[in-house]
Amino acid sequence: MDYIMETVGLRKSYKGNVVVNDVNIHVPKGAIYGFVGPNGAGKSTVMKMILNLIQPEAGEVQLFGEKVTDQSYEVFKRVGSIIENPYFYEKMTARQNLELHCDYMGFPNKERIDEVLQMVDLQNVEGKQIRHYSLGMKQRLAIARAILAKPEFLILDEPINALDPEGIREMRNLFQRLNQEDGTTIFISSHILSEVDLIADTIGIIQHGNLLAELPIEEIHKHQTEYISLQVDDVAHAATLLEQMGITNFSILDKEFIRIYDSNISGKVLSKALIESGVGLESLGRKQDTLEDYFFQLTEEGK
């Protein structure tokens, strides 16, 4: 397989605490790779090592098949990124900030600035100083800057956390367009698992600095099961009733929720039986496992 980016045995400690432990990531060319993990799992630290902003204690990063070193200037011209809180010159306008970035990257095509401002829908406020920008506007500008020099590889650390639902949808469409039309490979971290589920084709899950899983999202979807989710006021009573009805393939999640892993059962029959036997039924719905379920399953095991 052709990988745009690989990490080999990547490791980092802070004051004796290992925060990234022997991490081997493989980002296929053309992929949208969702990098997910709980707070403090080590995502930003990995991303900073990929970008050579901090040095690994052991292991290495390979970008476009080359080992990243302090001399890797040319390779980084092919990469766009957002890491943690993006810094802008606050007294300059969006356009001026992007002009500076063009100069910094040695990217001559200033017409591209209009293009990217339009892509992130900032064209009408490009003349405003950044200090008057909202958090969401700054996030859009950070995305504009990351894609300005037409990178082949985009590294996005939490690029949508300050956006409203409309903004999230617009940026999702933008990332998909860049991926499909320009062939941009994208490595994206996000806490919004439902979003990652929508956009990523490959998933990496990290916890306590360990990469727990790396797999195509299809693999997760393939094993997803449909189930009926019941919310009741008395799970013990409801469980007894289910058994009396011959339903045994279920699990009690907590004080309120039961999952029945047999989606052939009629919801109507079920709700009637529960109500008739005096169980208070708050809700009944058919659901499917999501990336979120898979994530919690893995990270709970990791604990």
Ligand X SMILES: Nc1ncnc2c1ncn2[C@@H]1O[C@H](COP(=O)(O)OP(=O)(O)OP(=O)(O)O)[C@@H](O)[C@H]1O
User: Nearer Cβ to ligand X, position 157 or 170?
Assistant: 157
User: Nearer Cβ to ligand X, position 50 or 230?
Assistant: 50
- Please work out the total of residues on this chain that contact ligand X, with binding judged by CB under 6 A: 10
Q: Which residues of 237-271 are buried (b: 16+ CB within 10 A; e: fewer)?
A: ebbebbeeeebeebebeeeeebbbeeeebeeeebe
Smallest distance from the beta carbon of 73 to ligand X, in angstroms? 25
User: Nearer Cβ to ligand X, position 19 or 137?
Assistant: 19
Residue type, 9: G
User: Nearer Cβ to ligand X, position 42 or 151?
Assistant: 42
Smallest distance from the beta carbon of 249 to ligand X, in angstroms? 36
Q: How many helices (H) and strands (E) does the chain have?
A: 11, 15
User: Nearer Cβ to ligand X, position 40 or 183?
Assistant: 40
Cα distances from 207 to residues 42, 211, 221, in angstroms, run 7, 7, 21
Q: How far apart are CA 163 and CA 17, in angstroms?
A: 33
Smallest distance from the beta carbon of 42 to ligand X, in angstroms? 4
Which alpha helices (H) appear in the chain, and where do they start and end?
Answer: 43-50, 73-76, 94-105, 111-119, 135-148, 165-182, 193-199, 217-222, 235-244, 267-276, 291-302
Does position 19 interact with ligand X (CB under 6 A)? The reply is yes
Q: How far apart are CA 60 and CA 231, in angstroms?
A: 49
Give me the helix-helix angle, 111-119 and 94-105, nearest 10°.
120
User: Nearer Cβ to ligand X, position 167 or 209?
Assistant: 209
Smallest distance from the beta carbon of 155 to ligand X, in angstroms? 13
Smallest distance from the beta carbon of 44 to ligand X, in angstroms? 3
Q: Of 31-60, which residues contact ligand X (CB under 6 A)? A: 37, 39-45
Q: Are 263 and 229 in contact (CB under 8 A)?
A: no
Smallest distance from the beta carbon of 242 to ligand X, in angstroms? 39
Q: How far apart are CA 27 and CA 25, in angstroms?
A: 7
Q: How far apart are CA 278 and CA 234, in angstroms?
A: 9
User: Nearer Cβ to ligand X, position 42 or 167?
Assistant: 42
The count of other CB atoms within 10 Å of the CB of residue 14 is: 11
User: Nearer Cβ to ligand X, position 37 or 170?
Assistant: 37
Smallest distance from the beta carbon of 103 to ligand X, in angstroms? 30
Determine the 3-state secondary structure of 64 from DSSP: coil
Smallest distance from the beta carbon of 93 to ligand X, in angstroms? 29
- Report the interface residues with ligand X, using CB under 6 A: 14, 19, 37, 39-45
